[in-house]
Amino acid sequence: MESIRVRSAIRCAGATLVLTVILTGAGKLPEVKRYDIPEYSGKKTYMSYTTFKADSKQQELQDMAETDPNGIRAVSGRYCIAIGSRFDAPIGQYVDLLLHNGLVIPCVVGDLKSDKDTDSTNTFSPNGCCSEFIVNMTDINNKCKSMGDMSYLIEAWQSPVKQIIVYPEYNFF
């Protein structure tokens, strides 16, 4: 396996700190599965994080999560979302939402939409959403709450999802 040795020296208050970091597997990109999303409205709905059963994987992930200032639940900087079974991604799986404008929203699968609650491709819910953010309803951004759409959080999110990228090697469980 290839490795890279990075050496850095920092001088502060007359002392020099030398830090050496060895990166193994350098240059190797993680395996990913990319799923193209057909054209749709771009809506990104939300659901409450309090709906999960106490002994479920969903709740286990929520026990690790924190609520960000806009009410979205996140684990290690990745937003918790629910997606359909088309993406073959279990609870805890790292996924990214690649928007049409090129923005990538780092996420983790926090819930799976039931096949009976999605279209025939198990991609979209009846309201035309392919990614449902898991939120704390008391802290959710007011504009998002009134519109029923997390796309209103920031302007850059007002772009439809182009691809869902799944990282099979990375899971919280």
Whether residue 10 lies inside any domain: the answer is no
Whether residue 15 lies inside any domain: the answer is no
Work out the pLDDT band at 29, boundaries 50, 70, 90.
confident
Q: Is the pLDDT of residue 11 over 80?
A: no
CB within 8 A of 86, min separation 6: which ones?
Answer: 35, 118, 121, 122, 123
Predicted local distance difference test score (pLDDT) of residue 25: 53
The least confident of 4-8, 83-87, 143-147 is 4-8
Residue 114: how many other CB atoms lie within 10 Å: 12
Q: Is the pLDDT of residue 19 over 70?
A: no
d(CA 65, CA 47): 15
95 with 166: CB under 8 angstroms? Answer: yes
How many Cα atoms within 13 Å fall on the side-chain side of residue 3?
8
More confident residue, 25 or 102: 102
Q: Could you give the C-alpha distances from 71 to 12, 74, 80, 106, 133, in angstroms and in order?
A: 39, 9, 11, 16, 10
pTM metric for this prediction: 0.83
Whether residue 107 lies inside any domain: the answer is yes
Whether residue 20 lies inside any domain: the answer is no
Report, as an integer, the average pLDDT of 1-27: 46
Q: Is the pLDDT of residue 9 over 50?
A: no
- Which amino acid is located at 95 in the chain? V
Average pLDDT, the chain: 88
Whether residue 16 lies inside any domain: the answer is no
More confident residue, 58 or 17: 58
Residue 31: how many other CB atoms lie within 10 Å: 10
Number of structural domains, the chain? 1
- The tokens describing 107, both together, are 């996420």
Whether residue 4 lies inside any domain: the answer is no
Whether residue 135 lies inside any domain: the answer is yes
Expressed as residue numbers, the domain containing 91 is 30-171
β-strands 73-75, 66-67 pairing? antiparallel
d(CA 11, CA 74): 36
The least confident of 12-26, 119-133, 158-172 is 12-26
Whether residue 18 lies inside any domain: the answer is no
